[in-house]
Amino acid sequence: MWRIWKLYDPLRSMVVQGIFLFGLAAMIHLILLSSVRFNWLDGLSQAQFKAMEAKTGSAMPPSVPAAK
């Protein structure tokens, strides 16, 4: 194992790994934000809002019953 670290600088390896992981996380978040189902910034779309209203009879999500 020590021979590997003689070939690669540990600090440079960790910096490159950090940049790669940050780029990967940013890419995953942008892909999710571009989808309709997983976009948490826009809230409910009009179609989802109307479907929930038709299903529950109310525009509000169902309430959680109180604990006894």
Residue carrying the six token digits 């950090």: 18
Helix (H) or strand (E) holding 64: none
pTM above 0.75, yes or no: no
Q: Is the pLDDT of residue 32 over 60?
A: yes
- Report pLDDT for 67: 66
Q: Would you say how long the chain is, in residues?
A: 68
CB-based contact 45:36 (threshold 8 Å): yes
Distance separating alpha carbons of residues 60 and 66, to the nearest angstrom: 17
Q: Is the pLDDT of residue 66 over 80?
A: no
Residue 67: exposed, middle, or buried by beta-carbon count in 10 A (0-12, 13-18, 19+)?
Answer: exposed
- Report pLDDT for 44: 65
Q: Is the pLDDT of residue 20 over 90?
A: yes
